[in-house]
Amino acid sequence: MVLTYANQLTILRMLFVPCFVLLLIYDQPKAATILFLIAAVTDGLDGLLARKLQQKTVLGSFLDPMADKLLLTAAFVTLTIPSLPLILHIPTWLTVLTISRDVIIAVSVLIIHLQTHHSHFPPSLLGKCTTAVQLMTVGACLLANFEINLAHAIFPYVKYSTLAFTLASGLHYAYKSVKIIAAYQEEGDGKQRAQNSQS
């Protein structure tokens, strides 16, 4: 069964993305916050269901990170728009940096796959930490609609943590990409030398 319960929850989380954006645009930040929390709960539930029911699928391995990235990117972009009546906004430079990192990683993965047919790109610890602090940055912005003083107190910390982890994970992915390409080239050179020695 392709559409397992876990995959259905993941698709539901993807459907939450436009609803979340529309709620923010139409000045319903508290409702948007509740929807974001529900989406976060489904993120934990789909992984739990996949493990407990032994329903891990190839489709789920693609959909789950895609749903997370869609939600985070939509949240960052929307919460950056200065014209929206929000108490806290994510700085434009941080959103640009975050999205640029994701685009560079996606393009790098595509190039590596096309050149080397390497298809195993598990998330690194730094990547997972980056996602966590990005979620905290979004959470701090949304928290301001309920508890403004606490949100203002923690926002600088999560903002600069996101900056640090985004840069560190981007450099780490670049290093891993170079290693994969170098290993592929060495393997190719080794095969070429073996063929030359046999001929």
Between the CA of residue 30 and those of 7, 120, 136, 147, 180, what are the distances in Å?
27, 39, 16, 11, 45
- Which residues lie below 8 Å from residue 24, measured CB to CB, with a gap of 6+? 32, 78, 79, 84, 86
Give tens-digit pLDDT for 95-142: 999 999 988 888 887 877 777 776 666 667 888 889 889 989 999 999
Q: Determine the pLDDT at residue 35.
A: 93
Give tens-digit pLDDT for 88-103: 999 999 999 999 998 8
- Would you say 58 and 3 are in contact if contact means Cβ atoms under 8 Å apart? no
Q: Is the pTM value of this prediction over 0.85?
A: no
- Would you say 70 and 30 are in contact if contact means Cβ atoms under 8 Å apart? no
Residue 146 has pLDDT above 80, yes or no: yes
As a whole number, mean pLDDT of residues 69-84 equals: 93
As a whole number, mean pLDDT of residues 77-92 equals: 92
Q: Determine the pLDDT at residue 60.
A: 62
As a whole number, mean pLDDT of residues 68-72 equals: 89
Percent of the chain residues past pLDDT 70, beyond the cut: 82
Give tens-digit pLDDT for 150-189: 999 999 999 999 999 999 998 888 888 788 777 777 766 5
Is 137 exposed, middle or buried, given 0-12, 13-18 or 19+ CB atoms closer than 10 A? buried
Alpha helix ranges (H) inside the chain: 5-25, 29-52, 58-80, 92-116, 125-143, 148-198
Higher-confidence residue of 93 and 67: namely 93
Percent of the chain residues past pLDDT 90, beyond the cut: 38
